[in-house]
Amino acid sequence: MSKTAAPKTASKSAAPKGKASSANPMTVPRIAKVTVNIGVGDGGEKLEKAEKVLAKLTGSKPVRTVGKDLNRELGVRPGAPIGCKVTLRGAPAEDFLSRALASRKNKIYEYSFDNQGNLQFGVPDYTNFDGERYDPDVGVFGMDVCITLEKPGARIKHRRLLARSVPDGHRVSRDEAKAFLVPKFKIEVVG
């Protein structure tokens, strides 16, 4: 009996380049983290109030951010605290994100998406969140919300041994980010 090789056929689960296939879970984007930042410009009592607002909204303890460069006009020195931030992952990130998007009436501008598939938007006042009331002792604080998206396997850029860059075909594009976030959070993208 002779052994003959069967002709190779393309698999049906292979998706066209740039399109996510439901058959391959490695091509579906996910929320890696949500970073919430309040910049106040200086330390002291104002920074402590901003930390209270972040802790109240996110349920996590904020971390202070410090200045890197000397800027005499703004009064920023290297190492001086100028703001605070919280990084959320998993279910708390999605819960906060749905509340933050609801405070903006689920409308996001087209330019808020970058070429790496991330999304950034601002919330002008913390009282825009449902259930939050103005406190005259705290004042008014706005915040920046940054959503980082990645596909499974993007860990190769963070690992300690044999770290590599993520290939272009495995990065989240702007269109993939929209296709993932719009139905998940019922976002309306405004041009």
Q: What is the CATH number of the domain that holds 142?
A: 3.30.1440.10
Answer yes or no: is 117 within a domain: yes
Answer yes or no: is 9 within a domain: no
Max avg pLDDT among 2-16, 20-34, 84-98: 84-98
Answer yes or no: is 71 within a domain: yes
Max avg pLDDT among 15-24, 32-41, 72-81, 130-139: 32-41
Answer yes or no: is 37 within a domain: yes
| Residue 104 · residue 18 · CB < 8 Å | no
Name the domain count of the chain: 1
pLDDT band at 11 (very low <50, low <70, confident <90, very high): very low
Report residue 79 CA to chain centroid gap.
Answer: 25
Answer yes or no: is 13 within a domain: no
Answer yes or no: is 17 within a domain: no
**Which residues, 6 or more positions from 84, have their beta carbon under 8 angstroms from its beta carbon?**
37, 38, 40, 47, 50, 51, 54, 62, 63, 64, 65
Answer yes or no: is 16 within a domain: no
The token pair that represents 138 in the structure block: 């705290």
Answer yes or no: is 111 within a domain: yes
User: Which pLDDT score, from 0 to 100, does residue 5 have?
Assistant: 55
Q: Which domain holds residue 178?
A: 28-154+169-190
Spatial separation of the C-alpha atoms in residues 14 and 52, rounded to whole Å: 49
89: left (phi over 0), alpha (psi -120 to 50) or beta: beta
Q: What is the pTM of this model?
A: 0.80
Q: Which residue has the higher pLDDT, 98 or 18?
A: 98
Q: Is the pLDDT of residue 30 over 80?
A: yes
| Residue 93 · residue 78 · CB < 8 Å | no
